[in-house]
Structure 1
Amino acid sequence: MRNLKLILTSYLNILKTVRNNAAPKSILFRQYHFKIIPGRYVLPSRQSSSTAAGAEKEEDSFFKWLLLLIPVTTFGLGTWQVKRRQWKLQLIDDLKSLTTAEPIDLPVDPMELERLEYRRVKVRGHYDHSQELYVLPRSPVDPEREAREAGRLSSSGESGANVITPFYCSDLGITILINRGYVPKNKVRPETRMKGQVSDEVEVVGVVRLTEQRKPFVPQNDIEGNRWHYRDLNAMARVTGSEPIFIDAVLDSTIPGGPIGGQTRVTLRNEHMQYIATWYGLCTATSYMWYTKFIRKIR
């Protein structure tokens, strides 16, 4: 909103300049021509009023069409944001459909996994609780709250951690990594949630996730201190001796007394409606200002 006010103020100042200034200096210079008087000196004499008026009219016409570019451009940007919003809504729907589809068996082919991010898969085996990893700080997933807080610098959610545990797949003969879910600060240590540290064979349904690039201002992972801030699958696999395969356990796979599953974030920032209102509002304002300066004045 502040940028919108600045742009409108600048645009209004330009219009005032065009209105108040009969002609720029370059035109004022053109209003004079030099008359040579033989044997004496050069005397500047003013051009006829019709010539000066013509030059002023020409300059005014130039500014008229130049300033029209602003409402035209802002209208184009608003229309582009409409299309971007439609694309973003479709992308959100596609992600939600993937995370709610019927689970398939986990493939071990890395090339196939690259095409299955956010796809639900199922595995059977047992956890190795001795090599838990902790991704923090994290807050429990709440899609409605995250949609409201999209774009904010801080979140009002409770701070805790996601517990990443190696999982031996008895049907595949490999060990993968499973994000079992969220725990609050006072439940990060395993001894505080022994009821959920099951050793029996279980079936887990999860969402395939790929490695994550560190975002700006996100700290580096503290591997020795077991404090992870982003999902680095290769580093996590080296520490735990597992394959670089990672899934988020769904809520239904939550074990009583253990971390709360369903921590896959599929809420994407969708602020395009604000951009649409800004650009179309700017287009409307500048169009009206242009109309009052040039069209209504002519009439």
Structure 2
Amino acid sequence: MAAAARWLGRLLRAAGAGPVPAGAVTRSVLGAPSRAGLAWTPSRRRSSAAEAAAAREDSFLQWFLLLIPVTAFGLGTWQIQRRKWKLKLIAELESRVAAEPVPLPADPMELKNLEYRPVKVRGRFDHSKELYMMPRTMVDPAREAREAGQPSVQSGAHVVTPFHCTDLGITILVNRGFVPRKRVNPEMRQKGQVEGEVDLVGMVRLTETRKPFVPENNPERNHWHYRDLEAMAKLTGAEPIFIDADFKSTVPGGPIGGQTRVTLRNEHMQYIITWYGLCAATSYLWFKKFLRRTPGT
């Protein structure tokens, strides 16, 4: 019996149960309950449950983190489509700006599809009802290209003047162009106040909504920060039709025409590179973490 107890003790130690007192083995062999045996079995069960829970958690984390490269790939692909759309829009805009001027339509509804389209009108200015959009800086492509990245020091206003169209019998609003701040007062530029009938070419502009951080318009002070055509037209008695006079309209001592900024931001290539780069980096980290792990890690 003692030999059998010793043999059973060695078997339990080999199985990983740890040192087992000889008395405990003898009682087990004789049919008495063994404390060592009762303590060992639940421990193994708890270990198995913990391993299963850890495996489930690891599996969830694995597929959850895979969402990062998948989402980045989707956003990069979406930016490719956005870039195609933007390039098409830029091409259409350039074609519209370079088109030959057409007579200004009398119906304001037709103008909704004509923004940035050159139109021609004939009539006379009413300088007594000038409006001032400010602050503004002068649009000068050559200077802006030469001084790229440098802040502009020339601040002033755009002079918006009611213009009675002789042929159409209506009054519209014309942005005559830029004047420095010190010459906003019309008394400082009397030579530039054109009298009589003139022919003008300008680009159609539509109304604007106030953007974030842009101040509200102040009609009482005649300070306009964005084009609110309804309010401007109501104040001057004109129709809510607005054009930017071209550079050829400039006269000595008057506002400098051609102040239409025709630009569309196209930064989609940067976004494409950013999103696809993020997809590649996170895919590599995910592959290294979950697919190239050594056993036991």
* TM tier relative to shorter chain: 0.7 to 0.9
**Distance in 2 (alpha carbons) for counterparts of 1:58 and 1:243:** 69
**Distance in 2 (alpha carbons) for counterparts of 1:53 and 1:117:** 67
Aligned length: 256
> Does the alignment pair 1:165 with 2:198?
no
CA RMSD of aligned residues (A): 2.8
> Percent same amino acid at aligned positions?
66
Q: Which residue matches 1:75?
A: 73
Shift of 1:266: 2.2
Shift of 1:159: 1.5
> Does the alignment pair 1:86 with 2:87?
no
Secondary structure of 1:166 counterpart: strand
From the superposition, tell whether residues 54 and 238 of structure 1 become closer, same or farther in structure 2 (CA, over 3 Å): closer
Q: Which residue matches 2:286?
A: 290
From the superposition, tell whether residues 58 and 298 of structure 1 become closer, same or farther in structure 2 (CA, over 3 Å): farther
**Distance in 2 (alpha carbons) for counterparts of 1:53 and 1:72:** 29
Q: 1:192 aligns with which of 163, 188, 192?
A: 188
Shift of 1:171: 1.4
Q: Structure 2 matches for 1:99-138, cutoff 5 A?
A: 99-138=97-136
Counterpart of 2:164, as a letter, is Y
Q: Structure 2 matches for 1:187-266, cutoff 5 A?
A: 187-266=183-262
Secondary structure of 1:47 counterpart: helix
Counterpart of 1:233, as a letter, is L
Q: Which residue matches 1:10?
A: none
The answer to whether the Cα contact below 8 Å between 1:92 and 1:266 also exists between their aligned partners in 2 is: no
**Distance in 2 (alpha carbons) for counterparts of 1:51 and 1:214:** 61
Q: Which residue matches 2:266?
A: 270
If the length of structure 1 is used for normalisation, what is the TM-score?
0.76
Secondary structure of 1:97 counterpart: helix
Q: 2:96 aligns with which of 98, 103, 110?
A: 98
**Distance in 2 (alpha carbons) for counterparts of 1:273 and 1:158:** 33
The answer to whether the Cα contact below 8 Å between 1:181 and 1:263 also exists between their aligned partners in 2 is: yes
The answer to whether the Cα contact below 8 Å between 1:236 and 1:244 also exists between their aligned partners in 2 is: yes
The answer to whether the Cα contact below 8 Å between 1:143 and 1:267 also exists between their aligned partners in 2 is: no
Secondary structure of 1:126 counterpart: strand
Counterpart of 2:75, as a letter, is L
**Distance in 1 (alpha carbons) for counterparts of 2:294 and 2:52:** 16
From the superposition, tell whether residues 214 and 54 of structure 1 become closer, same or farther in structure 2 (CA, over 3 Å): closer
Shift of 1:220: 1.6
| Structure 1 residue ranges without an equivalent (≥5) | 1-37
Secondary structure of 1:181 counterpart: strand
Q: Which residue matches 1:4?
A: none
Shift of 1:254: 2.0
Shift of 1:290: 1.0
Q: Which residue matches 1:62?
A: 60
Larger radius of gyration: 2
Shift of 1:140: 1.6
Q: Which residue matches 1:28?
A: none
Q: Which residue matches 1:7?
A: none
Secondary structure of 1:224 counterpart: helix
Q: Which residue matches 1:180?
A: 176
Shift of 1:294: 1.9
| Structure 2 residue ranges without an equivalent (≥5) | 1-32
Secondary structure of 2:74 counterpart: helix
**Distance in 1 (alpha carbons) for counterparts of 2:292 and 2:49:** 25
**Distance in 2 (alpha carbons) for counterparts of 1:143 and 1:69:** 45
Shift of 1:65: 2.4
If the length of structure 2 is used for normalisation, what is the TM-score?
0.77
Shift of 1:282: 1.4
**Distance in 2 (alpha carbons) for counterparts of 1:224 and 1:205:** 30
Counterpart of 1:87, as a letter, is W
Shift of 1:160: 1.0
Counterpart of 2:45, as a letter, is Q
Counterpart of 1:292, as a letter, is K
**Distance in 2 (alpha carbons) for counterparts of 1:213 and 1:129:** 26
